[in-house]
């Protein structure tokens, strides 16, 4: 059940009117539902109950400290892709022993930081990274636990910018090279081969590519076992999509159904060939935990009627939400206050000096200057991808808990944007 609904003709987040939030905190503003966040995480936790499994939230989707804190209190681990993200986990009270470090370009300093906090595992994505990590761990007198991120060459059937498991991808070790890479890792003195990982892409509406990738990982685990290399965890990555409500789009696979099929295949494999050997299953969901928990609240500045298009110019822009400009993503837009006024077809655009600054195209809306709109399902890859282009302060962030609102990030001021700059004497 959505935590965003109309009450007396006004859209609410849980028990709070979005119009009231705009009046108090201004726009553009991200508004999140605590109940939706905890409910989405519970869908993973409930499906994993009674099993040796760990849900590591992919915090690149939304890394606000309040959200990390709420998830850590529910037992979540974290999938990180930078040293800065690890520092966020620590600041939010997360357990570094539940942290998976992914990414193709880990620096020496990032490796040192992660090793100093004894993170659960590094997802290694190349031979050069493997040797660098061995050298860094050796210099620190430590051993680095690793998985190899294996590229299974499975087509995820998603946008090419978020497909990560094909041969042309920068991510991971090629499947055909994985066995030799594992052999090399097992021979290094400061590396502990702990598991195997894959992540084939994001916004997946069908779990068949994920299950195909699982079959390939199982095949490789068996081959490694024949050589005496025993793995302790199997990391399926993330990628399950959410419903952005575009007409005609297939509904995403339910989380519980997907995890059930994963566990069924693993159970059958273990019963047949891997009996008696425990293996932890790790998931790295991001969007499916936080995506539909948030909306972007924005105000209409002007209505402009052009020769070929009508434009609804709002105060949110591509610097606040990059997905439409970057991926041509479809994001549902609705007015905060329902009205019986006649609707027209608009492109919803921002004030940035770029033709790519649009949030939605060809939408039927009954709006006037001064009205409020919301972009739905904006909880993932909104604030984390926001920028300060055109010296625009990033939006405020609010989380709603029942009838209570909490400011979890205040709006930036122009002075804060240039505080790190200096003039030349």
Element counts in the chain: helices (H) and strands (E): 12, 21
Same domain, 240 and 316: no
Q: How confident is the model at residue 249 (pLDDT cuts 50, 70, 90)?
A: low
Same domain, 278 and 298: no
Residues in the chain: 425
CATH number of the domain where residue 395 is located:
2.40.37.10
**φ/ψ (deg, to 5) at 363:** -110, 135
Estimate to the nearest angstrom the gap between the alpha carbon of 14 and the chain centroid.
Answer: 23
Of 111, 115, 112, 75, the closest CA to residue 95 belongs to 75
Annotated ligand binding at 132? The verdict is: no
Q: Among the options 48, 56, 121, 353, which is catalytic?
A: 353
Residue 196 has pLDDT above 70, yes or no: yes
What H or E segment, with its residue span, contains residue 242?
Answer: none
Residue 276 is part of which domain span? 103-283
Q: Exposed, middle or buried, 271 (CB in 10 Å: 0-12/13-18/19+)?
A: exposed
Cα–Cα distance measured from residue 25 to residue 374, given in angstroms and rounded to the nearest whole number = 15
Q: Which of 38-42, 249-253, 361-365 has the lowest mean pLDDT?
A: 249-253
Let me know if 56 is a catalytic residue.
Answer: no
**pLDDT tens digits along 104-113:** 999 999 999 9
Range with top average pLDDT, 17-31, 146-160, 163-177, 195-209:
17-31
Taking a C-beta distance cutoff of 8 angstroms, is the pair 386, 395 a contact?
Answer: yes
Same domain, 263 and 326: no
Same domain, 269 and 297: no
Backbone dihedral region for residue 12 (phi beyond 0: left; psi -120 to 50: alpha; all else: beta): beta
Determine the pLDDT at residue 253: 86
**pLDDT tens digits along 266-296:** 999 988 887 667 899 999 999 999 999 999 9
Determine the pLDDT at residue 277: 77
Annotated ligand binding at 32? The verdict is: no
Annotated ligand binding at 286? The verdict is: yes
Kindly report the average pLDDT of the chain as a whole number.
Answer: 93
Neighbours of 326 (CB within 10 A): 15
Beta bridge partners of 364: 345
**pLDDT tens digits along 331-375:** 999 999 998 878 999 999 999 999 999 999 999 999 999 999 999
Annotated ligand binding at 354? The verdict is: yes
Same domain, 220 and 366: no
Annotated ligand binding at 327? The verdict is: yes
Asked, for residue 77, whether it belongs to a domain, the answer is: no
Annotated ligand binding at 323? The verdict is: yes
Same domain, 119 and 249: yes
Annotated ligand binding at 285? The verdict is: yes
Same domain, 300 and 336: yes
Same domain, 358 and 215: no
3-state secondary structure of 25: helix
């Amino acid at each position: 059940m959505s935590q965003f609904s109309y009450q007396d003709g006004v859209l609410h987040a849980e028990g709070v009117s979005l119009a009231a939030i705009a009046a108090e905190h201004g726009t553009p503003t991200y508004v999140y539902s605590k109940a939706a966040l905890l409910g989405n995480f519970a869908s993973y936790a409930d499906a994993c109950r009674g099993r040796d499994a760990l849900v590591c939230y992919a915090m690149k989707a939304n890394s606000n400290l309040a959200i990390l804190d709420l998830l850590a209190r529910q037992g979540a681990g974290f999938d990180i892709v930078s040293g800065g993200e690890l520092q966020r986990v620590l600041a939010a009270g997360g357990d570094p022993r539940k942290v998976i470090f992914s990414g193709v370009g880990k620096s020496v300093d990032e490796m040192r930081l992660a090793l100093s906090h004894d993170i659960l595992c590094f997802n290694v994505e190349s031979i050069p990274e493997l040797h660098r990590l061995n050298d860094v761990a050796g210099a620190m007198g430590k051993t680095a636990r690793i998985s190899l991120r294996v590229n299974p060459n499975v087509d995820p059937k998603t946008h090419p910018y978020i497909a990560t498991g094909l041969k042309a991808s920068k991510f991971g070790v090629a499947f055909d090279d994985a066995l030799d890479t594992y052999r090399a890792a097992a021979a290094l003195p400061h590396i502990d081969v702990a598991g195997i990982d894959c992540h084939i892409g994001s916004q997946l509406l069908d779990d068949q590519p994920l299950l195909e990738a699982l079959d390939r990982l199982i095949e490789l685990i068996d081959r490694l076992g024949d050589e005496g290399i025993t793995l302790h965890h199997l990391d399926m990555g993330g990628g399950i999509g959410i419903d952005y409500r575009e007409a005609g789009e297939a509904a995403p696979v339910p989380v519980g159904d997907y995890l059930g099929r994963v566990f069924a295949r693993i159970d059958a494999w273990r019963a047949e060939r891997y009996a008696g050997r425990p293996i932890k299953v790790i998931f790295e969901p991001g969007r499916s935990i936080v995506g539909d928990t948030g909306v972007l609240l924005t105000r209409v500045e002007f209505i402009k009627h052009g020769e070929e298009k009508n434009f609804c110019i709002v105060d949110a822009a591509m610097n606040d939400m990059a997905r439409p400009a970057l991926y041509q993503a479809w994001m549902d837009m609705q007015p905060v206050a329902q009205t019986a006024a006649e609707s027209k077809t608009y492109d919803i655009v921002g004030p940035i000096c770029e033709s790519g600054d649009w949030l939605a195209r060809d939408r039927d809306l009954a709006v006037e200057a001064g009205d409020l709109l919301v972009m739905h399902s904006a909880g993932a890859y909104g604030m984390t991808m926001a920028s300060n282009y055109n010296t625009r302060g990033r939006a405020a962030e609010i989380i709603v808990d029942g009838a209570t609102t909490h400011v979890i990030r205040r709006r930036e001021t122009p002075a804060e944007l240039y505080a790190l700059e200096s003039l030349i004497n």
